[in-house]
Structure 1
Amino acid sequence: MKDIMTIPRPEYPRPQMVRPEWVNLNGEWEFEIDHGKSGKERNWFNDNQKFSREINVPFCPESKLSGIAYTDFMAAVWYRRTFTIPASWNGLRILLHFGAVDYDTEVWVNGQSVGTHRGGYTPFSFDITSYIQSGTNIVTVCAEDDVRSGLQPRGKQCDSYSSWGCDYTRTTGIWQTVWLEGVPQSAYISSVKISPDLANECAHVEAKINGTCDGSWSFTATALYQHKQVGSHQAVVSGERARVTIPISDIHVWEPGRPNLYDLNLTLLKNDQKVDEVQSYFGMRSVALDGMTFKINDKSVFQRLVLDQGFYSEGIYTAPTDEDLRNDIELSMKLGFNGARLHEKVFEPRFLYWADQLGYLVWGEYANWLFDITTATGLERVLPEWMEAMERDINHPSIIGWCPFNETWDKNGTKQNDEVVRIVYKVTKQLDPTRPVIDASGFYHVSTDIFDVHDYDQNPETFKERYEPMGAGGDVHVPFPDRQKYEGQPYFVSEFGGIWWDPVAKNEKSWGYGERPRSEEEFLTRYEGLVSVLLNNPNIFGFCYTQLYDVEQETNGLYTYDRKLKFNQKVIQGINSRTAAIEKALKEEAKPSI
């Protein structure tokens, strides 16, 4: 095994469920492209199979960092590497984890299939205890990928040979950390759901237990703030679940820019003897819609969001380092944004960890771009993985809303199946009643807590004419009135701008919205005009500007693809940081009468 300093992405990949016993399997793997998807027929999973290339995991083969940089379509890809189990793990159960593999995956250990997974964005794991042997072991992975099917959620991965417009280089196969974990043989904590209850000054914790537990088993959750215990509770394990409510004696709320977080120690005991222990964390914060306002901890917060696509020039879907994830958030905050729409991608957990740590608001989305939901068949592919994504991310205080669909375009003249949208909305609300849900961002709304629109009008005057009546209590702008109806929900312009600005003004391959400004001054005048329309409207609770950085040919970012700032930071920050009308009105109401 290589020294940890030479392993790419060496940090612990699951920050909300940390155990000390783990081994990172990132780094050099054998690799093969299987254009004909015939590898299984040819028994490529056998122990004696050798592949002709090497790849640097967890970077996808399309990326430079993988060492492959092959950007044509790949029907299937294969990976193979050896590993050994630490001697200190003797007697433990061995789990093999994958952060994300795109898209249909099968895994073999020592030539035996240990399981399959469908979905390109969510984690999965297999208990491989009974498949391993002493000494050297072999893990083989096959991932099949077809973004052209229309029934594989792909996000912004391009379904034509070359990237164009707002579709970018594809990601095939492994793109998040692969790792081994040692857990107790008898029973262990497999997942946890943390529900902060600010109104009652407590946190509800529900743990899922893998293993058979009788009445001699108990579960303890202990909360700490800055290393000081502020609450603890113990309960008997009931079946495969353990539920406790922890009273919090010292309340510090999590909010934008003030990321107060509590550590959480979770312990599984048998006859009061510790069997398993996991470290986690949580934030005490509430989210609520109140009239036209969006409140966090009962305070109206105007959402100054930016669209983040989650792409990297050398890693494609995968950030080169953990620091790059943090850096993207800090770059956004330096420009006066307080959050982001994590667009058309289920971002990796480490990004959400940094959002939690930095007090950054985010919307959890799914990768449905141009996915076919004209029939109920689409539900089969979307709902299981969306539920997995929610289960993985539900504890993050930075996530303040869910958005399972974005721009549900019709397919070949056939309209979306509204029941697919409605069912996914209802399931989302059932899994998490604490956050608002946008059913289909931009269009076409069926059942939604928030009415949002996408508007790429580049003229601040016509943009103003569209929304000004609403600010005065008049007509509300409703795109596609034949397909959706406004029913008094809070209003959100969740995509706008996208101003096309390429420092190389004559680059004909670049793309953006509308006509390119002729100068930086013209860009800033347009930017200020569009942003001011939304900040000045008391009946709009937030905006999301497209976008934070360029991605390949789409050059409408405030930063370049390599994260170089295009404009004067203080000017952009000043425009974004002006007091929003809705916040100003609430401050005026709060003033004591004389």
Structure 2
Amino acid sequence: MTSMSNGITTTTPVPGSDRPRPAASLQAGDHPRPQLLRPGWHDLSGEWDFRYDDSDEGLDAGWAAGLDTGMRIVVPFPPESPASGIGDPGFHPVVWYQRSVFRDDLVDAGLGEGSPRILLHFGAVDYRASVWIDGHLIGHHEGGQTPFVFDVTTAVSGEGPHVVVVRAEDDPADVAQPRGKQDWHLDQHKIWYHRTTGIWQPVWLEAVPTLSVESLRWTPSVTRGTVEAGVILRGHVGADTVLSVSLRIGERELGSVRVPVTSGRPTATVALPHQLNGQAYEDLLWSPENPTLLDATVELEQGGVVVDSVESYLGLRSVEAARGAFLLNDRPYYVRSVLNQGYWPESHLAAPSVQALRDEVELIKRLGFNATRVHQKVEDPRFLYWADRLGLLVWGEVAGAYEFSPTAVSRLAKEWVDVVERDVSHPSIMTWVPVNESWGVQHIAHDPAQQAFSRALVELTRALDPDRPVISNDGWEHQDSDILSIHDYEPSGEVLRQRYRDETVRGALLEGFGPAGRRILLDGVADAGQPVMLTEFGGVKFSVTPADDDGWGYSQAADADDFDARLADIMRAVHDSRMLVGYCYTQLTDTGLEVNGLVGADRVPKLPAERIAELMRGER
């Protein structure tokens, strides 16, 4: 029998508990952390008190103890967006939030005898956050794209309600902050869009046991037929603690293991006997065409009693760049990707709804793509869940800084580590992109320090995740990239055809100056035979309404027929190439002043979706 708890589809009860066990692979998609589920959690989205602090007086004036304000904001939408209820895109470098937490909120989060500790989670706050409860400082966090959590058990132990206050600082003039395409001008210009300040991903409460699972990392091995669970624990590990991990598909058990726990970072490797049959091992492999997910239960026992049980999911698959090809599950795979900025007019970088994240994945697939490059943004984990479940490869990219300095280096490196750790277990993530178009390393062609930083990010990424390709600098000026990605907005299909015809033109392309007059390989970097992808191209402007006529694109179509013809010309050239092993078309949606999307900002296709899919698949 199934039921629903906080929107999660559930099946059998959790051992040692009367709460139902959620099937993580079939969840409703609203849980802010889709690969680590407990039945109880409480969403703090909705109306909060809000106040601007343009003169930065709030700390000295005691606002941390409570705000005197008549303004309200709808969390998690940034105040620049209409969906927030404020819609002010001006410069406001410091903002404050406040809301009350009631006893019923804690109970809904799962507070009880078996789960006595309360965690306060933030999905993302741009850029620097401080949190107080009832005037007592709980903690700080820096980094606008990554999650953070505080144990607030003591702070909410007394009689409620309890007042949560958040101060967010996001200096629009600080170009050493990783900011992506958030504009540093007052008004958006060219390819940059309105800023996102403050809370822009969910805030939520969760009750956990005294000893609990803090995080999970899944490392599947297709060749060995195993899955390794890397677990980080919260709380004291006793001498009689045992970790158990079981994997299943549907109701069929695939494998399980029990290991004694001697530290706060245990690992457990689950063997999958099914994978020993060399003629059947592909049945369980994940791909965009067959997005098979395995459900997982992870339990902690003390003295033979289950003290914590969480649900998760994973995909069994491998990705690699080898022999001049991109390999998915050890077979060449042609990547048909689209650049997606994850930006909505009404809610900006925050998705307007949970459903919008699923709709985005479904739209991308309906338009003929098997992959997407989430551009200059670390996307909501719930988007990655739908990519995992519905089958869509995702390029993992971080929002870049614009300045090269010790401050920018330390900020980006720290945030990048957190990004990789957050998303490493998603089977949809196919590659990592820590730098785009030399942003933040603008003089990398000549500056040894900037070159060293780029190489260091690549090696850091490989140290964190040795199982995915890494691109050192997407677009050009590569040093140590597993995939040579090129950006080329040439509007002529014939020019593109000659430029990427086959391996006979490879040397001239890589060793000379490429599109936009940029080196594809830096001086002294040899061509190691990596696969080549065209990861930004197209960008054809097509205005479907008069309001878009002043918008921006790399070339321009006069009408729908001209748009179709230009797309067909470009895409035929790309598909005719015998050198390219994949592409990423720019772009999915009109974004800000850019009106070069395949669909409008409203997600309505500018040509029939079936026609766009034909062009992107190279069918005619």
TM-score band by shorter chain is over 0.9
Letter matched to residue 459 of structure 1? S
Letter matched to residue 405 of structure 1? V
- Counterpart position of 1:25: 44
The superposition leaves residues 143-184 of structure 1 with CA deviations (integer Å, 9 ceiling, x where unpaired) of 000132111111111110111211111110001110111111
Unaligned residue ranges in structure 1 (runs of 5+): 581-594
How big is the shift at 1:475? Answer: 3.5
How big is the shift at 1:11? Answer: 2.4
State whether residues 407 and 441 of structure 1, in contact with CA within 8 Å, keep that contact through their aligned partners in structure 2. yes
User: Aligned pair in 2 of structure 1 residues 566, 120: CA closer, same or farther (>3 Å)?
Assistant: same
Work out the CA distance in 1 between the residues paired with 2:561 and 2:601.
Answer: 21
What aligned pairs does 1:246-395 form with structure 2 within 5 A after superposition?
246-250=270-274, 251=281, 252-368=284-400, 371-373=402-404, 375-395=405-425
User: Aligned pair in 2 of structure 1 residues 487, 412: CA closer, same or farther (>3 Å)?
Assistant: closer
Match of 1:89 among 99, 111, 126: 111
The superposition leaves residues 58-79 of structure 1 with CA deviations (integer Å, 9 ceiling, x where unpaired) of 1111111110101101110000
The answer to whether 1:166 aligns with 2:199 is no
Secondary structure class of the residue paired with 2:308: strand
- Counterpart position of 1:502: 543
User: Aligned pair in 2 of structure 1 residues 225, 471: CA closer, same or farther (>3 Å)?
Assistant: farther
Secondary structure class of the residue paired with 2:501: helix
Letter matched to residue 491 of structure 2? Q
How big is the shift at 1:233? Answer: 0.5
Work out the CA distance in 1 between the residues paired with 2:263 and 2:547.
Answer: 66
Match of 1:50 among 68, 73, 90: 68
- Counterpart position of 2:232: 208
| Percent identical residues | 36
Letter matched to residue 90 of structure 2? D
Match of 1:404 among 434, 439, 450: 434
Match of 1:78 among 72, 96, 117: 96
State whether residues 36 and 75 of structure 1, in contact with CA within 8 Å, keep that contact through their aligned partners in structure 2. no
Letter matched to residue 114 of structure 1? I
Larger deviation: 459-468 or 73-82? 459-468
User: Aligned pair in 2 of structure 1 residues 190, 409: CA closer, same or farther (>3 Å)?
Assistant: closer
State whether residues 95 and 183 of structure 1, in contact with CA within 8 Å, keep that contact through their aligned partners in structure 2. yes
Number of aligned residue pairs: give it: 570
The superposition leaves residues 347-386 of structure 1 with CA deviations (integer Å, 9 ceiling, x where unpaired) of 0000000000011011100000x5213x343221101111
How big is the shift at 1:239? Answer: 1.1
User: Aligned pair in 2 of structure 1 residues 136, 272: CA closer, same or farther (>3 Å)?
Assistant: same
Work out the CA distance in 2 between the residues paired with 1:413 and 1:401.
Answer: 25
Work out the CA distance in 1 between the residues paired with 2:49 and 2:312.
Answer: 34
How big is the shift at 1:345? Answer: 0.2
State whether residues 286 and 315 of structure 2, in contact with CA within 8 Å, keep that contact through their aligned partners in structure 1. yes
Letter matched to residue 24 of structure 1? D
The answer to whether 1:196 aligns with 2:220 is yes
How big is the shift at 1:248? Answer: 1.6
Secondary structure class of the residue paired with 2:385: helix
User: Aligned pair in 2 of structure 1 residues 471, 50: CA closer, same or farther (>3 Å)?
Assistant: farther
Letter matched to residue 503 of structure 1? V
- Counterpart position of 2:601: 561
Letter matched to residue 466 of structure 2? P
Letter matched to residue 558 of structure 1? L
Letter matched to residue 79 of structure 1? Y
The superposition leaves residues 301-328 of structure 1 with CA deviations (integer Å, 9 ceiling, x where unpaired) of 1000000000011111111111111111
Match of 2:497 among 452, 457, 464: 464
Letter matched to residue 152 of structure 1? Q
Work out the CA distance in 2 between the residues paired with 1:555 and 1:271.
Answer: 62
Work out the CA distance in 1 between the residues paired with 2:343 and 2:547.
Answer: 24
What is the root-mean-square deviation in Å for CA atoms of aligned residues?
Answer: 2.1
How big is the shift at 1:403? Answer: 0.4
Letter matched to residue 343 of structure 2? F
Work out the CA distance in 2 between the residues paired with 1:507 and 1:384.
Answer: 39
Secondary structure class of the residue paired with 1:130: coil
- Counterpart position of 1:109: 133
Secondary structure class of the residue paired with 1:259: coil
Secondary structure class of the residue paired with 2:426: coil
Match of 2:58 among 22, 39, 46: 39
- Counterpart position of 1:176: 201
How big is the shift at 1:334? Answer: 1.1
State whether residues 376 and 420 of structure 1, in contact with CA within 8 Å, keep that contact through their aligned partners in structure 2. no
How big is the shift at 1:10? Answer: 9.5
Match of 2:589 among 530, 535, 549: 549
Letter matched to residue 398 of structure 1? S
How big is the shift at 1:487? Answer: 3.4
State whether residues 105 and 116 of structure 1, in contact with CA within 8 Å, keep that contact through their aligned partners in structure 2. yes
State whether residues 502 and 578 of structure 2, in contact with CA within 8 Å, keep that contact through their aligned partners in structure 1. no
User: Aligned pair in 2 of structure 1 residues 319, 400: CA closer, same or farther (>3 Å)?
Assistant: same
Work out the CA distance in 2 between the residues paired with 1:507 and 1:57.
Answer: 30
Work out the CA distance in 2 between the residues paired with 1:545 and 1:52.
Answer: 46
Letter matched to residue 393 of structure 1? D
